[in-house]
Amino acid sequence: MHMRAHGNSSIRAMAAKNPKGALEKFEYVPEPLGPYDVEVSIEACGVCHSDVHLIDNDWGISTYPLVPGHEIVGYVHEKGGMVRDLKIGQRVGIGWQRASCLHCEHCNQGDENLCASSQATCVGHFGGFASEIRLDSRFAFPIPEKLASENAAPLLCGGITVFAPLLRDVKPSMKVGVIGVGGLGHLAIQFAKAFGCEVTAFSHSPDKEKEARQFGASRFISSNDTSAMKSVAGSLDYILATASADLDWMAYLNILKPRGKLCFVGAVPAPIQIPALALIGGRKSVSGSNIGSRTEIMQMLEFAARHGIVAKTETLPMADANKAIEKVRKNEARYRMVLKNPEAHSH
């Protein structure tokens, strides 16, 4: 039974008090509920690699105490007077973005994720490793009934990150490569397969072949095997790079057909070095993509429910957040860690 009274009593959370610090119990009093805000009682929250980067302040944008968590599923617990489309008790999901200006050129074009005033769920705000969260209701998305909360949570960041570029760039006739079979990659393979594409998975871990094929890959290439990499030269229309390691990008450009595109969604550490001629010759391109718009998130959730696309998850109680973070740090999650609040309920 959820015990927090309505109003402004404090929210229980897990926070890092300083860079690279372990998460500790932390309580905070939320901002007053605005007219368009909702308070969501959190049932499940996925652990994304970005949460580890934020805890460690790898991007220099973190503020402490830092409550991570931006793959949230929970129930609307309170709502402001202007919230018309969400009901008390309704299950919703929240991802990386918690607000945008909603009136700039990009917001008006339905690209809220490109808004200069975009606010991140756990940068300068307290995130989803908590009992509740308050945010703009226009960034809380109804979760289709078919999806279990722990499998849906990772779709809110990991899922949309791979779905949005595929939706924009890929046609059913295409042959698509996915680099990395991890939190993002295992979802990208499922989406690309459901789009009708022929999918090739690339991984440096040969032990992931069986599962990559179960997710929908029809071909698996061990990225350490240079002759296997050469054998597929010129065979793919599109490659989505989901890994966060520095790889031999020239080898992947060689695998693209003329007019092919290599799209980055993983934040690889080193600058990407590519000779211009490698792009000029086959009119190839390199691009990037960040999360997705509100419309794309809603399309993604509906598409995932329709095609039975779910994140493969391991769950732990919220109190074990440090254990989950450790597994993500060591790349041991298969394929996404999800923290659960056992007491969350639909009202």
Q: Which is nearer to Zn ion, 50 or 90 (by Cβ)?
A: 50
Pick left, alpha or beta for residue 44 (phi over 0 → left; psi -120 to 50 → alpha; otherwise beta): beta
Q: How far is the CB of 58 from Zn ion (least distance, A)?
A: 13
CB burial of residue 183 (10 Å; 0-12, 13-18, 19+):
buried
Q: Which is nearer to Zn ion, 50 or 313 (by Cβ)?
A: 50
Q: What are phi and psi of 146, to 5 degrees?
A: -60, -25
Q: Which is nearer to Zn ion, 42 or 48 (by Cβ)?
A: 48
Q: How far is the CB of 342 from Zn ion (least distance, A)?
A: 24
Q: How far is the CB of 341 from Zn ion (least distance, A)?
A: 19
Q: How far is the CB of 173 from Zn ion (least distance, A)?
A: 31
Per-residue interface string for the shown chain with Zn ion, residues 79-118, x marking contact by CB under 5 A: ---------------------xx--x--x-------x---
Residues 157-186 that bind Zn ion (CB under 5 A): 157
Q: How far is the CB of 159 from Zn ion (least distance, A)?
A: 10
Burial 107-130 (b: 16+ CB within 10 A, else e): beeebbbbbeebbbbbbebbbbbb
Contact 292, 159 (CB under 8 A): no
Contact 255, 175 (CB under 8 A): no
Closest CA to 130 of 51, 33, 184, 19: 51
Pick left, alpha or beta for residue 216 (phi over 0 → left; psi -120 to 50 → alpha; otherwise beta): left
**How far is CA 164 from its chain centroid?**
11
Residues 123-162 that bind Zn ion (CB under 5 A): 157
Q: Is position 244 an interface residue for Zn ion (rule: CB under 5 A)?
A: no
Q: Which is nearer to Zn ion, 120 or 255 (by Cβ)?
A: 120
Q: Which is nearer to Zn ion, 90 or 97 (by Cβ)?
A: 97
Q: How far is the CB of 326 from Zn ion (least distance, A)?
A: 17
Helix or strand holding residue 162 (H, E): helix 158-169
Rounded Cα distance between 344 and 341, Å, is: 6
Q: Which is nearer to Zn ion, 100 or 223 (by Cβ)?
A: 100
CB burial of residue 256 (10 Å; 0-12, 13-18, 19+):
buried
Candidate list 15, 48, 217, 265; residue touching Zn ion; CB under 5 A: 48
Q: How far is the CB of 117 from Zn ion (least distance, A)?
A: 5
Q: Which is nearer to Zn ion, 30 or 159 (by Cβ)?
A: 159
- Total residues contacting Zn ion (rule CB under 5 A)? 8
Q: Look at residue 3 and give its three-state secondary structure.
A: coil
Q: How far is the CB of 202 from Zn ion (least distance, A)?
A: 21
Segment contacting Zn ion by CB under 5 A, of 42-50, 121-129, 167-175, 337-345: 42-50
3-state DSSP percent of the chain in helix, strand and coil, to 5: 30, 25, 45
Residues of this chain that interact with Zn ion (CB under 5 A) are 48, 50, 100-101, 104, 107, 115, 157
